[in-house]
Structure 1
Amino acid sequence: MNRMARLTYLQRLFYRNPRGYRSSELAELCGTSQRSINRDLEELQTEPYYLPLVLDDDWRWRLMEGHRFTLPPVHLSLQEAASLYLAARLLARVSDEPNPFVGRALMALGEALPPEVGAQVQKVAATHLGDADSRFAKVFEVITLGWATGRKVRIRHQGLHSAHIREYVLSPYLIEPSSVGYATYVIGYASYFEAVRTFKLERISEAELLSETFEVPEEYCGLALLSRAWGVMYGDETTQVTLRFSPAVARRVKESRWHPSQEIEDCQDGGCILRVEVPHLLEMKPWIRSWGPDCEVLAPEALRQEVAEEMQRAAETYRRDPASGASL
């Protein structure tokens, strides 16, 4: 590997192993001379890495305790920076919990942008700074560090329909936001299940970074699995969902790419039919209901019946006199 690749690799090694390494061990891992490694260790402590390395009595180099993972400078075009700003805004809008790291990222981005727009971005950032010591912020920090460095994390998580908090050792393979659940999810191998599972970060009460490392299996391709999902619920088998939209909303439906598998067919009355293939139907239901009477489920029949019954119950609710309900 060339020197730049080696420096990046060394940085990752130190984050993965808090005990550190002797320079001879690093030379063997990198396939280079000990003399080259010593030069690399000096460079890692200067710009742009500023890695706070400590040499212990047993000649092991390690990261200073309490150091936070930092990235070297990234050079962006104005349009790339604007894209990151929009992505961060979307993430902030679909999060159950305020994420102070979104605010920090926007603040840093605003400082780098031209003053005319940088001031606007920083005003937005100030509304998202939140509490860096909140439970969610601490969980987010640990999970992302484990994900980035390939280290396992111990989590305490309470399922939506469970009265108990369970403890798992998790190998975080992937982090994914969801506009469906207004949340952020971590996907990875969980010890209790001995299988890959999805956990909502907002339901994790505690997270601890462990020294034990992991490797993502070569056969695992989370992004490919998620490409078939409507949100974060994925699977190998899919079901075709067929929806008919009224002429009043057909143009709006055809404006967007709702799912990679979608097919749209025009109807003679000006409406349209949308077909998608998804592994789970649950995440689609709120989206279907959001169209009200302008969306009709044609297939599968079980989904059609579920939505029809929910719509009927909603209609019954609105037929009642509000005064007969609970006091406001």
Structure 2
Amino acid sequence: MISSTLHSCTEEDAAPPPGGAFRMAAVEFRSAPASLELGEGHVAMTVPMARPGEPGHRETWWCEEPPEIGAAGGIRFALGDEVAFCAATIEHRSVYAPVVERRYREVFDFLEGHGYRRLLRVWNFIETINAANADGLEVYRDFCKGRSDAFAAHPEFYNSMPAATGIGTTGSGISFFLLAVKDTEVRHIENRRQTPAYRYPERYGPRSPSFARATAMTARRGEPPTLFVSGTASILGHETVFEGDIEKQCATTADNIAELIANCYGPSKALADVDTVKAYVRHAHHVPFVQAFCEATFGGAALAVFNVDICRGDLLVEIEAVVGGAAVRV
């Protein structure tokens, strides 16, 4: 139904997954301004995530039939029979919440109008994520306010928040893209080690972040689910732990991901079964350690590592993952 490939931009484009597939979208994470356009039969998106001189990475999303692609207002979309890919960009603003709310509501209205009523996975890329906006509010909290207000206006999505990532970028503005489905079974998963993000206390901002810790998708009856793990960090309860210690933050992050995998699969899968990993690292001098940690922890997973800021100033690393099942192939 939906599959992905992830590789360096210096490599040749990966072939479609086995069984036949059609490109829905290609997202390039590189040192370039944000862009969003319609390519030849797919959505083409650039997110500024690499540093000058770094090759960056390309993530390609595939579906089983030729998608319908197009534009609706500020949205670019690719629609398969069962799955939708939607993306949008927002130019730099001194205050983001009002325009984030409008753009998210635009996407939600579009999805509901086309029958894609189950959110599967969301990625948000936010400039100067830890800086203050014109009102003195941290940009991430400014973003969360707009996103939360959009969810509140759409009860069906509000009551079923999906896995998500909210991370810094090396460029300007905000970019986001998401996957949604019509009838496919999805289950949003929390971590007993962590407070659900949407229940964080007010100390983290005027609106709580709007996401679940992971989402499991069962594409076909009898197949194992695919698990989309949100951006995960060294947080227990709602508090950051091991401030300033990259080794312990990585270990705690991996333990949190292992908990989500166990919640979904029981003992049949573990960290070594992860298919795709993206790691976000605050400080450049920590990148080699995180790269090696991920390679050792996640086995042969396809891996991309980015040197960007993270949603809390005391977090050094954030890691997201996909555990494949039959639906995701790398």
After TM superposition, the score normalised by the length of structure 1 is 0.24
Task: Kindly indicate which of the two structures has a greater share of residues assigned to helix.
Answer: 1
- The structure with the largest alpha-carbon Rg is 1
Higher relative contact order (CA 8 A, sep 6+): 2
